[in-house]
Amino acid sequence: MKVVPTSIADVLILEPVVFEDHRGYFMEIYQRERYAGLGIDVDFVQDNLSVSSKGTIRGLHFQHPHGQAKLVQVLHGEVFDVAVDVRRGSPTFGGWAGVVLSCTNHRQLFIPQGFAHGFCVISDKAVFHYKCGDFYTPSAERGIIWNDSDLKIDWPQEAPVISEKDAMYGRLEDMPADFLPVY
């Protein structure tokens, strides 16, 4: 497995080994001991799957308390995936890392606790899988508006399809301090 660092420490791009032949391909998408050896020693407790159409942005979501580390991957299609550092006191607070994930590049993104996460669907449809390091806790659910002008995320979509809930989120700067994890 190849590990590619991003502009933010601990947010990692992972490139699993893919064995291809005339029948298709095989790849191992998670093996606890191997990932722990890479520094990803998370007890993943929940797997989620979403299917979205082109131009959809989901996010930017996080939980506090009950922060969720995430290991994300596209099973069909292509997305632009983003992790935003929301840890108060972090030297990269408000910074973001983005990467294209697709069913053809087989990349995964590891997002530690303390980061908001979102993605934009580039292909006609995307099937998106993510492993979570804590259970979904509705009372801890938090979010940032996808187009927060302070974050300057270079989304590939200017007029995305978003949910009513995601449209109601505010800017990171306006979030109450107790809604944010500490570095």
Token pair for 23: 């029948």
Q: Which residues constitute the domain of residue 58?
A: 2-18+27-179
What type of residue sits at position 156? P
**Pair 94, 151: CB distance under 8 Å:** yes
- Total tally of structural domains belonging to the chain: 1
What's the chain's average pLDDT?
97
Tracing tokens 């910074």 back to the chain, one arrives at: 95
Q: How many helices (H) and strands (E) does the chain have?
A: 2, 13
pLDDT mean over 56-73: 98
Instruction: Identify the pLDDT of residue 96.
Output: 98
Which pLDDT value is given to residue 6?
98
Percentage, residues of the chain above pLDDT 90? 99
Distance CA 84, CA 61 (A): 9
Q: Which residues are catalytic?
A: 61, 130
Q: What pTM does this model have?
A: 0.96
- Tell how strand 115-121 and strand 57-63 pair up: antiparallel
Q: Can you give the CATH number for the domain in which 71 is found? A: 2.60.120.10
